Amino acid sequence: MELSFRFATRPTNSYQMTIDDSIRKVLKDHANLSVDALTVAEDADLYKNGMTSQTGVNVMLALEGAFDFEFPDTMLNRSVFQTIANIRAAVQKLTEKN
Amino acid sequence: MGMMELPDLLERVRQIGEEIIGPNAADVDGQGRFPTEGIEALKKEKLLSALVPVDLGGMEMTIDDLTKICTVLGKYCSSTAMIFAMHHIQLACVVRHGLSSPMLRTYLAELVEKQFLIASVTSEVGIGGDTRSSLCAVEVDGPRFVLNKDSTAISYGAHADDLVVTCRRNKDAASSDQVMVLLKKGDYTLEQVGSWDTLGMRGTCSPGFKLRSTGPVEQIIPGAYGDASSQTMVPFSHMLWGGLWLGISSAAVNKAAAFVRKAARRTPGQVPPMALRLAEVSNKLQSMRANVNDMANECAALQRSPDGNEAMLSMGFALRMNNLKIYCSSIMVEIVHDSMLVCGILAYKNDSEYSLGRQLRDAHSAALMVANDRIYAKNASLLLVHKDV
Ligand SMILES: Cc1cc2nc3c(=O)[nH]c(=O)nc-3n(C[C@H](O)[C@H](O)[C@H](O)COP(=O)(O)OP(=O)(O)OC[C@H]3O[C@@H](n4cnc5c(N)ncnc54)[C@H](O)[C@@H]3O)c2cc1C
């Protein structure tokens, strides 16, 4: 599952599912949320649900590892990581470049 | 408006330093008492509302200019300068995050008139210096809230009019999901816990307190403290502290320089041996000043820029602001210590004109006002993902 999205060439529905699944798994493992990362709404504020700047860094690192890219510094701010929808937009932007 | 230009204002603050703050500094330190006369003199110049927007009656001063005022104050009395700085850190939070609230606007206009002094309630029993977590929570019931907090230290808590308190958004919120609440005189009681008999910064009068309060919900400052912390609380703290620490350091080097010049006048044609150490410490002071000025310019530019608030949430900015605090707090101790070595026994004596004991004791507070290792740990974590070092 970790690899499937890398070979997807265009953002189909299932491709998006995979990105979301990966993001949610990273959040579950690293964000230390007070809610279930697998089911939390995609527009819920993750910082209000227990993510801190410390666990936020862990999430960034794990996403960089999972998707095999590096976030440019301009993307490393609270708003980019505030919601699952925002994270997905950032991930899509970076994976589509390749 | 009859508002003074910055050079005139700095000169006025320097006069207050010479005539009022400086002459009282030893007594403030010795007795560990609040520097009433200095703070009153600053109130007369309406300097406690320096950051308030012009349309609410204030000076709308920028962070770089305010930093310069802190530097002047730091030369005369570290405690007075720290109280002035801490008040403005809290005021900056209200000004930069509260203007959408009619009640907070009214409060700021009243602050201009009455020159209220605001204290800071961030650190908490059981949390220590991690300002980004709280145990206590604000509990809203209809139009009013209740907020109780056990604080480890509130500078001038017993002398302040109002307080700005960090706490969790509600009692189910995560420890990092915080808001700031303004408490006005009459909203709260403080029960002192312990004493404030410290090495230095004795005039800040900062014992622990048990805070009990209730007030109208409009005094909960809008937005998330997480953002306000990155955009205002941390930059203003590190900048204004850096400014006043620069004042303490430059006053120490000035004493060392005066000492060396005096020695040189006794033996023209011969460079006194301690002049070498003076040259060395002046080098450190210049680096410190450059660091403070550089970050003050960056902060001021960001505050003028339309996307400055977004940029202040970036990791690069957080790293640089943290480095400013760590650097200034560490180099200040070296600078004051080196200046003492230049003057020798006369700096070590408490009753000589070259005495530097008070400055040295004051300087040691800086590394623990939010522990430098805590800040280093934050930067270490940021550097795992931040690229442009
Ligand atoms: C002059 C002065 C005035 C103050 N005024 C106020 C005030 O008005 N309002 C207010 O709220 N507070 C105030 N404080 C408190 C201050 O801001 C800090 O919260 C407090 O000094 C920290 O307390 P601490 O050293 O016991 O705790 P900690 O910060 O917990 O530090 C204890 C020790 O643990 C280490 N440590 C802790 N965490 C880490 C980490 N993650 N990584 C590495 N090492 C770590 C530190 O380096 C230190 O050695 C004031 C302090 C001073 C000195």
Asked if residue B27 lies in contact with residue B33, where contact means CB atoms within 8 angstroms, the answer is yes
Residue bearing the CA closest to ligand 1, atom 2: B369
Question: Is A65 at the interface with chain B, CB within 8 A?
Answer: no
Asked if residue A64 lies in contact with residue B385, where contact means CB atoms within 8 angstroms, the answer is yes
Which stretch of DSSP H or E encloses residue B209? strand B208-216
Sign of CA dihedral B40, B45, B49, B51: negative
Report B:283-342 residues touching A (Cβ under 8 A). 310, 313-316
Cβ(B328) – ligand 1 distance below 6 Å? no
CATH number corresponding to B6-117:
1.10.540.10
Fold of B119-219: Butyryl-CoA Dehydrogenase, subunit A; domain 2 (2.40.110)
**What's this model's pTM, rounded to 2 decimal places?**
0.93
Nearest to B244 by CA among B47, B9, B75: B75
For the CA of B156, the nearest atom of ligand 1? 8
CATH number corresponding to A14-95:
1.10.1200.10
Sign of CA dihedral B292, B301, B234, B97: positive
* Dihedral pair phi/psi, residue B10, rounded to 5°: -60, -40
Enter the tokens of residue B145.
């809230």
CA distance B48 to B79: 16
CA distance A35 to B6: 51
Using CB atoms, pick whichever of B132, B174, B386 lies closest to residue A53: B132
Express each pLDDT in A34-81 by its tens digit: 999 999 999 999 998 989 888 999 999 999 999 999 999 989 888 899
CA distance B74 to B17: 9
Question: Is B367 at the interface with chain A, CB within 8 A?
Answer: no
Contacting residues of A for B132, CB less than 8 Å apart? 52-53
* CATH class of domain segment(s) B225-383: mainly alpha
Asked if residue B181 lies in contact with residue B167, where contact means CB atoms within 8 angstroms, the answer is yes
The count of residues in chain B is 389
Enter the tokens of residue B163.
């307080």
List strands edge to edge, sheet with B162-168. Answer: B118-121, B162-168, B178-183, B220-221
User: What residues does each domain of chain B span?
Assistant: 6-117, 119-219, 225-383
What's the pLDDT score for residue B202? 98
* Dihedral pair phi/psi, residue B190, rounded to 5°: -125, 125
Q: In angstroms, what CA-CA distances link B121 with B86, B118, B166, B374?
A: 11, 10, 7, 19
Give the end-to-end CA distance of chain B in Å, rounded to a whole number: 45
- pLDDT by residue, tens only, chain B of 389 residues: 457 899 999 999 999 999 999 999 999 999 999 999 999 999 999 999 999 999 999 999 999 999 999 999 999 999 999 999 999 999 999 999 999 999 999 999 999 999 999 999 999 999 988 899 999 999 999 999 999 999 999 999 999 999 999 999 999 998 999 999 999 999 999 999 999 999 999 999 999 999 999 999 999 999 999 999 999 999 999 999 999 999 999 999 999 999 999 999 999 999 999 999 999 999 999 999 999 999 999 999 999 999 999 899 999 999 999 999 999 999 999 999 999 999 999 999 999 999 999 999 999 999 999 999 999 999 999 999 999 88
CA distance B357 to B193: 28
* Dihedral pair phi/psi, residue A22, rounded to 5°: -65, -45
Question: Is A9 at the interface with chain B, CB within 8 A?
Answer: no
Strands (E), B61-195: 118-121, 139-141, 144-151, 162-168, 178-183, 188-193
CA distance A90 to A64: 11
CA distance B291 to B285: 10
Contact A76 B386 (CB under 8 A): yes
CA distance A46 to A50: 7
What are residue B193's DSSP bridge partners? Answer: B208
